[in-house]
Amino acid sequence: MSNEFPGWHGTTIIGVKKGGEVVIAGDGQVSLGQTVIKGTARKVRRLSPGGHDIVAGFAGSTADAFTLLERLEAKLEATPGQLQRASVELAKDWRTDKYLQKLEAMLIVSDGREIYVITGAGDVLEPEHDVTAIGSGGNYALAAARGMMDSDRTAEQIARDAMAIAADICVYTNGNLTVEKI
């Protein structure tokens, strides 16, 4: 049996782009080991650097994610309206800065036109099929959403339905959603 402190688990974040809108949704559960610590965390945020609306969702350590969101905001202020460039600059810093390398989080970000996943491996990924998901229930939500993309559901309906499916399967995901549309 391991003596290690149990890791933080949890979160499912999904981004869906359809019909001229992007929706990012996230659940509210925070778990420590096998214990639910909080059920109403807000892991999807709206940022407005330089007057440009950005929606971001995060999975992983909350403190680490907020550090990354602050860095992203600074990059966006330096390159107003250029989410891709700011995301690449953040990923470069994350990959090369010794302090940032220790951060354990992932981000889904969107300006309403594009949607990206930013990882600590230096990746800025633009999803295929206009849907992406991260976190412990991310693969469940992604599969569910992909199956609904050809339906007549809106981006928000797909995100909500996919999150409900993930919450039914992943013990680290609940149905208490934060949904931001851009």
Binding residues for Na(+), by number, are: 167, 170, 173
Task: State how far the Cα of 62 lies from the Cα of 99, in Å rounded to an integer.
Answer: 16
The dihedral formed by the CA atoms of 147, 150, 156 and 157, expressed in degrees to the nearest 10: -70
Q: Tell me the CA end-to-end span of the chain in Å, nearest whole number.
A: 46
Examine the residue annotation and report whether 119 is marked as an active-site residue of this protein: no
Residue 141: partners with Cβ closer than 8 Å, 6 or more residues away: 12, 14, 133, 162, 163, 165, 166
How far from 74 is each of 17, 57, 80, CA to CA, in Å?
25, 17, 10
Question: Annotated active-site positions, please?
Answer: 11
